[in-house]
Amino acid sequence: MKTFKLLMLSFVLIFFGTQQLAAQGDLISAADLGKKLKAKEKITIVSVRKPADYKKSHIRNAVNVDLKKLVSDTDPKSVLKSPDEVAAILGKAGIDGKGLIVVYDNGKMKYAGRLYWILKYLGAENVKLLHRDLKKWQAARIPITKAPTPVKAKTFTVNLNKSIFADEAYVKAHLGKAVFIDVRPPDEYNGTSTKPVSKGHIPGAVNMEYVQILKENGALKSPAEIEKIMKGLGATPDKEIIIYCASSTRAGIVYMALTSMLGYKNVRVYEGAYNEWVMNNPTEK
């Protein structure tokens, strides 16, 4: 009887431990990253903070990727360069897309979320976002330095995951079929912003500013809380969901939450986003 109880207890611990891990998804805490670094696991750490901020301080051995260098110089300027061009830039920065890649930014996670989606689109399989801010990392004794990381160029082999990508043609073909989520602020969505940044939104899109999936302290809400928000939008697991913002930057963290934390299988990011759509297509308010 005692043996049976021990077996049952072990099963419960394993089950709930697995559930907690699944809920965490592709987030990694500062404490967990600290343990991996202490164990000298092979990890590619990528900072997407501004180059000037990276020079002031960064996680030891982290390489820096300037997101601005990954996008086109022509209008709309926020659209990604070709996959091969992006892969070449990442490879030059010392990223080959293999093994565990941990991405971090200034704590808002929207910039890290952008690179997360880009890496997933290019075919990297094991990508995680470092949760929250520098103070947490310091509390977890993650080593911080000003010294630049020696970078050895690598080859990033592209294996495009087209199932998470939507272009303008795809969006047009799926209007009225997929659930479109505009993750910009309400005034941009409604076309009422005092800044001339928006005339409205893609016809039929629903609005949920990306910060709604975050707590006041910047941490991500629980999977149950995020799922409740999604269901309120009609974005259920059985439907195709296409996320966009102005430039796809804010869409990445929402993509991660839906696919990694909630397990949604049919989610795409409209890479051209509102900035591309508005050039040649109608909007609504």
Q: Using one digit for the tens of pLDDT, what is the confidence trace for 141-200?
A: 788 899 989 999 999 999 999 999 999 999 999 999 999 999 999 999 999 988 888 999
Query: What is the pLDDT at residue 135?
Result: 67
Question: In what helix (H) or strand (E) does residue 224 lie, and over which residues does it extend?
Answer: helix 223-233
Domains of the chain: 24-145 (3.40.250.10), 162-280 (3.40.250.10)
Tell me how far apart the alpha carbons of residues 236 and 231 are, in angstroms, rounded to a whole number.
Answer: 6
pLDDT greater than 80 at residue 6: no
Q: How far is CA 116 from CA 17, 122, 237, in A?
A: 25, 10, 21
Structure tokens at 256: 């991660």
pLDDT at 74 over 90: no
pLDDT of residue 21: 36
**Mean pLDDT throughout 105-112?**
90
- What gap in Å lies between CA 201 and CA 190, rounded to an integer? 7
Q: What is the pLDDT of residue 9?
A: 31
Report CA 273 to chain centroid distance, whole Å.
15
pLDDT in tens, 109-140: 899 999 999 999 999 999 999 987 666 777 77
Of the pLDDT bands very low, low, confident and very high (cuts 50, 70, 90), residue 14 is very low
Q: Two tokens at 21? A: 């891990």
Give the residue carrying structure tokens 């977890």. Answer: 140
Position 12 pLDDT exceeds 60: no
pTM (predicted TM-score): 0.90
Q: What percent of the chain has pLDDT over 90?
A: 76
Q: Which residues contact 27 (CB under 8 A, 6 or more apart)?
A: 128, 129, 131, 220, 256, 260, 261
pLDDT digits (tens, 9 = 90+) for 18-73: 333 345 789 999 889 989 988 999 999 999 999 999 999 999 999 999 999 999 98
Q: What is the pLDDT of residue 134?
A: 60
As a whole number of angstroms, the distance between CA 99 and CA 24 comes to: 19
pLDDT computed for residue 23 by the predictor: 52
pLDDT digit string (tens) for 200-220?
999 999 999 999 999 988 889
